[in-house]
Amino acid sequence: MFKQLTKDELKTFTSYKPNNNAESKLYIRDDTILKLLLHDLNTKDRRNTILTLDELNHKSIPTNIEPITYKSRIGYTSTFYRTHQTLDKFIYDRTFSIEDRKKLISLIARLFEYLKLKEFLFKDIHQENFIYDGQDLKIVDLDSGTFKSNISKKDYQEFEESLIQIDNRLSRLFLRIMFGKYTDRLLYSNSDKFTESQKEYLLHANDRLGGPYNPESEINSFDKENIRKLLNLK
């Protein structure tokens, strides 16, 4: 059930990150963050998702999720992780070691293994939708996902196809985590091949979710052309 938020209660929150995306606005109060979606997103599907988010119980999922309505808008409150930052802070930090990057990849992979087990579809995979403090990972914007139980049977095939899309998007994210800024430099450098340590990175990401490369294939096939395809670059 949605809790009705009053105007006076909203005033107890402070606007967070004024340049929010076009779909929502964020507010914080102490250790609580409030996300309010814009009017157009007050749909049956989004309402069903928000109402069932408490069925997810994983260490990388924010706690204390409570559905909220404010006038004609819907949203939810959850725990605000003040010390966490989006993945950009870590991906592009040269001091973020190989082992630390592997650890982050493993945390994300285990989270999505859990979501797959719960039949929760989350396709909005990019580095801004994860926050991290060097040890603890949290996923955000879960309201953009959906449980299989919330969709009609005629859409089941699309649901299964979306699982493949998720693996591909995770692989692209893993590549960014592994190589950071060097990813772009590699794509446009004179060298067509990776160093041994870079190959190790790519294999680790590949093995976590079993795609899109065949781990049995020759490692030297991981060249710039394949990476361009992986990142959907031309």
The pair phi, psi for residue 144, each rounded to 5°, is -80, -5
E strand or H helix at 24, and its extent? strand 24-29
CATH code of residue 53: 3.30.200.20
pLDDT value for 193: 60
Structure tokens at 20: 């929010």
Tell me: do 101 and 56 sit in the same domain.
no
Q: Are residues 147 and 223 in the same domain?
A: yes
For residues 223 and 108, membership in a common domain is answered with: yes
Shared-domain flag, residues 62 and 137: no
Angle among Cα 124, 57, 123 to the nearest 5 degrees reads: 10
Q: For the full predicted model, state whether its pTM sits above 0.85.
A: no
pLDDT class of 76 with cuts at 50, 70, 90: very high
What pLDDT band is residue 111 in, cutting at 50, 70 and 90? very high
- Total domains, the chain: 2
Identity of the residue numbered 162: S
**Same-domain pairing of 111 and 206:** yes
Which is higher by pLDDT, 170 or 171? Answer: 170
Domain extent at residue 136: 85-230
Instruction: Answer yes or no: do 131 and 190 share one domain.
Output: yes
Domain boundary among 64, 79, 94: 79
Res. 35: pLDDT tops 80: yes
Helix H or strand E segment including 78 = strand 73-79
Query: Over 50: is that where the pLDDT of 216 sits?
Result: no
Choosing from 79, 106, 131, the residue where a domain stops is 79
Residues 55 and 102 in one domain: no
The residue among 30, 62, 79 that closes a domain is 79
3-class secondary-structure state, position 132: strand
